[in-house]
Every structure is written in C-alpha cells, then in structure tokens.
Structure 1
Amino acid sequence: MITRLDLFSLKLFVDIVDLGSIGKGAEKNFIAVSAASKRIADLEHELAAQLLQRQARGVAVTQAGLAVYKGAQETFVQLQRMATEVDEMSSGRRQPVRLYANLTAMMCHLPDAVASFCASHPTIKVDLHEQSTATTLKAVSRGEADIGIVAPIVPYPDDLQRSRYQQVRLAVVVSSRHALRGRGPVTFEQAAVYDFIGLDSDGAWDRMLGRFAQERGCAFHVRVRVHGFDAMCRMVASNLGVGIVPLPVAVQCAASMDLCVLSLDEPWADVPLDICTRAPELLSEGARLLLDHLRRHGNVQRAAPQPPVSLLHWPSATAPAAALPL
C-alpha cells in the first residue's frame, strides 16, 4: 500500500488541512476542485480510513487524517533534505541556509552575527528573511526555513527544539517636546496615558502591548501604525505619540532624531529571543554550522520546555535558563 501512495496527493492533503478547505488546497496546487476531491477520495481508499470530514464551511481533519498529516510533513522534510544534499554533491556548492527572524532580532544583534558567519564561511550563503514569530515557527516546523529567531509570545510546536538566544532591553522613546521628556524610569501605565505609535496591525508587537494594557487595566490607543522601528521613531520625533522599541534601536535613532530615550520600568522590559530548529539530523551541514555560530554569539543555553505563561511574567536577565518560559 505504501508504494502506491502518491506524493502529489499527500502534498495536496497537507495543504488542504493547513488551509481548512479543499477548494483553497486545489487552488494552491493549480488543479480543479473536482480533481482535488478525487485525489483525496483515492487517498482515503488506499489507506482504508476517512481523513477529512466535509463540513458546510471547509473541512476538519480526523484522528487518522492527523496521523497522515504529521507523517506527510516529516516525509517532505526528509525528501527536501535529500534533494538538497544531492544538489550540493552534483553542483559542488552548498544550498543557502534559510534563516527567519522577527523584527526585534533583525534590528539588534542578528545582522552582525550573520555577517561574521558569512565572512568565516564564504561558501555558505545565508538567506535572511524578516517574518513574524507565528510565521517563522510554522516555516521551521514545515521545513520551509532551517532556523528561526522568535520571541515566546505564542506556543511553540512540539516538534521543534529551542534555545535561548539573547535578551533585548526595551525602552520608551518620546520627542524632546513631549511631556515625559527628561523623566526617570517610566512605567507602561504612565506611557499609556498618551497615544502610541504602533507597528502593523497584523504584527505581534501591538498584540503584545495590547495584552499588557489589558492585564494592567489601562488604556492603549494607537494613533499611527508603521512598518518598522525606524519609522516608529520618526513618528515619535514628530511628537505624534510615544513608542516602545528595543534599546539598541532607540539609542541609534536618538543620535540622528529629536528623541529622548527613557528607561522602561517593567518586569517584561527584557524581551527573550529564542532559536528554533528541527532535530539536528534534519539540518544541512551549513544550517548546523550557522546554528552553532549563533549559539556562540548569543551565549545561549539549552532551555527546558515550559508551559505557556503570561507575557507579564517574562524573567529578568539574571534568571537561570531552565526557568525561562517558552
């Protein structure tokens, strides 16, 4: 039976489960809906099990379907690794290492770490992409990215390994004309009295601050949304609102903009960043070399899996690695 399974049908099935719709899965794979339905029916016949439950709106995966889904994902990861190794052997060159990272990591120390790696490993190309934490976790789990740098703001998939990479200090930035200028440490409640400059509505940054506001019972109003921390600082310099940004970004922007940098007096002001990968045996040699390099430069330790916790309970920089929440 195993030899009769069709890889295209398995890929189609995985896409249908991810998208929750046969129609959307068919569209992604450029086939008609009727052809997609026929392939899924044939797959269910070969496995002698119902994989999907057809509903009025989309489909739901059965327990048997979930087992096929996870097995197919692992199969495609292995096939991709095999294809990469064969290509490297036949072409005499290594495939790029795909590194996804959130905006905080991209704006702080990660670019320097990647640059030093590329300088010491000139035959290995690193494709670095800025992606949200949720997108990165999904990409790494599915083998679409080799390494991810994320913040623990959403649950991590069970099939990923994770290590603490760095902690980034947050700061409050205001215009030199703002009422908070010259103040000492500022709490979130004190800053939330004023309008905020936020990031894209689909990003995790505003959701993070919104959750802080909800748990503290204070207001949080975003006046302007922008696409990055540099643009946020420019809006703040024009006195359109208050911003919370990584300290390295605040210091850099204050050197060229009309900004005041204030200390953020909150227990969650140290944002942890984690490295996530699949099992080491699933990584290419280049990915393993980059992973080791990032761990050395980030001075990380293996972090034990922990249950999800409130963002307000991020540990301080002095907390032992084993106690860090993931």
Structure 2
Amino acid sequence: MAIPLSADRLVSALRAEGCTVHEVPGWRDHNRNHRGAWGPVHGVMVHHTVTGPGTDVVGLIYNGHSVLPGPLATGCITKDGVVHLTANGRANHAGGGDGAVLQAVIDESYGDRPPAPQKHDGSPGAVDGNARFYGWECENEGDGRDPWPRVQYDAIVRATAAICRAHGWGPKSGIGHLEWSDWKPDPRGFAMKDFRAAVAERLAHEPGWNPGEEDDVALTDADIEKIARKVLTLDGVIVNAVNDPNNTHIALASSARNIETIVRRVEAKVIGLGAPTVSDAQVTALAAAIAADSALADRIAEKVAVKLAARLAN
C-alpha cells in the first residue's frame, strides 16, 4: 500500500529530479477528496490537454470546466517544461479503467505495455483511477501533429520519475491514459514504451541526472580561474541572460547536476582574486564571456547559462 506523498514531499521530489516547479496558488488544499478516496496510490498517468495556443491551460486544469470540475490533474506540464502543481489529492483525470491494468501496474509485471484495457468510465467493473493515480495533464492539441518540445518531454519524464523514485516504484508504474481506458487516445504523439525507457534511464541514476553530465566534473582549477578572471574583467557589465530569447545558450541543454558547485567555485575564486563580492549579474555575465571561448563553451557554457538564468528568475 502506497500512501500519497504530502505536498512538501512532492515538491521536494520534483525539484530534486531537476523539474522547474510552479506552485499554483491554492493547490495544496485543492482536490476532489470529498468525492471519493485518494489512495492507496500505485502509479502516474500521463494525458494530453487537447488545447491550442491562447488557452489558459493551467487555469483550465486547476478549475476544470462546465462538464468536469477541477482539479483535472496533479499538475499541468506546459510546453516550456514548467510543472504547474494544481492539486494535492484526488483529481478528475483518470476516471474509470481496467482493474487488470491496475494490477499489472502494481506488480510491474507486463512487457512493453500493460494488457489492453477492456473498461472505461461508467462501464461495469471499471476501477476508480482517480483514487489510484497521480496525473500529469501535458499541454498539447492531441492531434498527433502538435509537437512535443524536448524541454516539455524531458519535464514529463522527470516529473514521472520523481514520483516513482519517491515511492520506490519502477518505470512501469507510469502509464498513458490510453493504456487505462479503452475510450482514451492520450497521450498522442509519443510512445509510452519509449517514455518508460526514458524514465527507467533516469531512475538508474541519481536524482537530477543529465545525460553527459559526467564530462562536466572534469573542469580543472585552471578552467575555474580562467572563468573567474573573465568575471572580474566584466565588473559592472550586466548581460541579460534571462530575458534574451535569442541567447542559444539559455535555450539548449538543462543544467548539469553539479553546475551549482561549479558556479560556487567560480565565485569563491573571484573573491580569492581580490573582489569582495560577486553579484548575480557578474556571474551571469560569464555565460556570454565563455561563449566566446570555444574550449570552455563546448564544455559548460550552455549549462552555466541555464543554471544562472534559473537562479536569477527565482
């Protein structure tokens, strides 16, 4: 039996996995627990929102609509990769589904996919999925043509892995709505088999792992000093790494797990070189400075920029 995560534990798990989390005001007390059970929980269900540009998709998932009251999921994962938390408890996302699928998820006993569902909401013998699954509503038109940006797909993988890791579950605890109900097609646009493989790869590493991050730890003291001296020479220069949409170093890879350590080493070195303090603006400026140095840029520029932008944004 798995007891649902508390709000604090959920937030901590998501952030440890490298997710960018937005706590929608009121989400900690927002749920449908008055309408039925919440728990024991056994898995995470992935959906698409069937929404296009111009929709307040986070508001929709939080509030629901005239036919189905909110919250409509644990969270809404938007195309920019932000995990917007919209519910702490039961939410109207899974509906009724197949008990054989639930048992296969509990046992993690299936192969590439759970047994084909034979039930749906309202059918005889359907199981209440809202009590058993966390839910991610993921912003997408759901027509099979609307793309899934890499940053969004990565966030869905991370968010699912975060919950699985917190509960001690494996990747087969993550399923799509189409694998739960014979009425549902979502998520459309990627294969759940491949999605579970990505979750499995993440679970095989420490929380917050990023592909290729092992190379990042090879920065030498000479590298750090070189960066630090660049920061000193940029005293008083502010590079707007947060608001410049054309800064490709911001738009590329997500930050490496150890990048905060690298930044702290740079700051410490700057102080050791004679600067009494180092501002966020100075350290942010290093993102642009090292971009001009190919040897350093190839190794850390984009990761440093992403991390520093996140720090400033917060």
TM-score range, shorter chain: under 0.3
Give the number of the structure whose residues are more often strand, by fraction.
1
With normalisation by structure 1, the TM-score equals: 0.27
Larger Rg: 1
With normalisation by structure 2, the TM-score equals: 0.27
